[in-house]
Amino acid sequence: MPTYIVFADYTEQGLNSIKHSPDRLDAVRKLVADHGGEVKAFYLLMGEHDIMSIIEVPNDDTAARLLLTISGEGNIRTKSYKAFDEDEFRGIVGSLP
C-alpha cells in the first residue's frame, strides 16, 4: 500500500481549539481506516512544522481526498509527499536502463 508523509501546520482556528486536537487525531485515524488505510505514525514537532504523520492508503486518489477533507476542516494546512520504501527504491533503481 502506498505510503505518504504528511507535514501539517496549525491554523489560527486550530490553535484556538488546540485542546480538541487529540479528539481530531482520533477522528483522522478513523477516517483513514474507513478508507482502507492506516495512520502508521504521528508526531508533534518542534521546528518548521507542527505535526508529521505517516499514513498508508490504497492509492493517490484516496490520499488526495483524505487530505483535502482533513484540511477542509480548517484546523491545519498540510504538505504531503509520496514515499517509497527500500524495496520500492531498489526496484525503481534496478529498472533503470
Which pTM value belongs to this model?
0.92
Q: How confident is the model at residue 92 (pLDDT cuts 50, 70, 90)?
A: very high
Report pLDDT digits (tens) over 19-54.
Answer: 999 999 999 999 999 999 999 999 999 999 999 999
Query: How far apart are alpha carbons 88 and 94 in whole angstroms?
Result: 10
Other C-beta atoms lying within 10 Å of the C-beta of residue 4: 22
CA 78 to each of CA 4, 34, 90: distance values in angstroms, whole numbers, following the listed order: 12, 20, 29
Query: How far apart are alpha carbons 78 and 56 in whole angstroms?
Result: 16
DSSP letter, residue 9? E
Q: Which residue is listed with cell 483513514?
A: 32
The separation between the first and the last C-alpha atoms of the chain, rounded to the nearest angstrom, is 26
Report pLDDT digits (tens) over 3-14.
Answer: 999 999 999 999
Domains of the chain are 3-83 (3.30.70.100)
